Amino acid sequence: MVRQEEFSGKTVEEAVETGLGELGVTREEVEIEVLDEGKKKLFGSVPARVKITVKPKLTDGERAVEFLKGLLIHLEIEAVPELKDEGEKIVIDLQSSGKGIIGRRGEMIDAIQTLAGAVANTGRKDYKRVVVDCGNYREDREETLKRVAEKLAAKAVRLGKRVRLEPMNPYERRIIHSTLVNDPNVTTKSEGKEPARFVVIIPNNMRERDRRDRYGKDRGGRGYGDKRGRDRDHGKYGDRERYPKRELPTEGTPESSGTSFNRGGNSGYKKGGFSGFFGTYLGNSRDEETTETPSPDEE
């Protein structure tokens, strides 16, 4: 039932303040109608009168719907929001004949859903999920993601390699995880940062070397200290070979084998002294040994 009462005062503002105090409401919760602005006379005055109507209190879902009505007008989108459910989650359906409201990969409708969720949860202690749908888009999208998850999981097992999906919002990533949670052949995990966070499908038959990135870190979550990432024959960090130790040129090395500051008679290297030699040593201690670079056709 709508509550409606009249109040008076010397001025309109005084009448409004009196009414708000007696009703115990704020200006945002009422509609004010001025019946008489009042006026002063030579002898006495006519009081101002106002009618205050208390607005019916909206539920969280109704408040979100009212917000969307104004938002869609500003976006110049011809759609009518309709509250479908307000139980465990708030479901709002946008009645529209066009598909422009969905956007590329659902970006537009996802943004609208985020704003509606923020409005519906204003003042709430516990968060309530809000779903904004249009033309059964959410259900169709969910079925598509389930088929994609199963198809890519089979591909990951067939190839024995990780498969990375395109970036998705948290709701869609949750669908991928829940679809494959009972699959005995793969595991899933989310990587990256928002808004480019994505799901990775990891097959259980993947080789150990493929589980590691170029830094030796296990892609499945194990760090650098994992013993499985070490190779007894090649040191601590995998297949890295030791860099060969450079030997200094022997005595009698001609100046043409390098660059020398010494332009005198003795061009050889002296132990304990500086001969002026620097740069890369181009000589070879073995006679007639050369290394050829393969041509592009031979590689």
CATH 3.30.300.20 residue ranges in the chain? 60-135
pLDDT at 269 over 70: no
Instruction: Assess whether pLDDT exceeds 70 at residue 119.
Output: yes
pLDDT surpasses 70 at 36: yes
Domain boundaries for CATH 3.30.1370.50 within the chain? 139-206
Which of 192, 212, 214 lies closest to 202, judged by CA?
A: 212
**Is residue 278 scored above 80 in pLDDT?**
no
In this prediction, what percent of the chain has a pLDDT beyond 90? 36
User: Per CATH, which fold does 60-135 belong to?
Assistant: GMP Synthetase; Chain A, domain 3 (3.30.300)
* Stated pTM of the model: 0.55
Query: How much is the pLDDT for 135?
Result: 87
Residue 6 has pLDDT above 90, yes or no: no
Radius of gyration of the chain (CA): 39
Task: Say what the pLDDT of residue 284 is.
Answer: 41
Alpha-carbon distance of 138 to 157, in angstroms, equals: 29
Lowest mean pLDDT of 16-30, 77-91, 119-133, 251-265, name the range: 251-265
CATH class entry, domain 139-206: alpha beta
Helix (H, G, I), strand (E, B) or coil at 264: coil
**Can you tell me the distance from the alpha carbon of 255 to that of 266, in angstroms, rounded to the nearest whole number?**
10
Gap between the Cα atoms of 84 and 288, Å rounded: 87
pLDDT at 80 over 80: yes
**Would you say 113 and 65 are in contact if contact means Cβ atoms under 8 Å apart?**
no
3 beta partners: 54
DSSP assignment of 217-260: -BTTS--TT-GGG-BTTTBTTSSPPPPPPPPPPPTT--GGGSEE
Confidence of residue 245 (pLDDT cuts 50, 70, 90): low
- Write the DSSP symbol of residue 295: P
b/e string for 231-258 if b means 16 or more Cβ within 10 A?
A: eeeeeeeeeeeeeeeeeebeeebeeebb
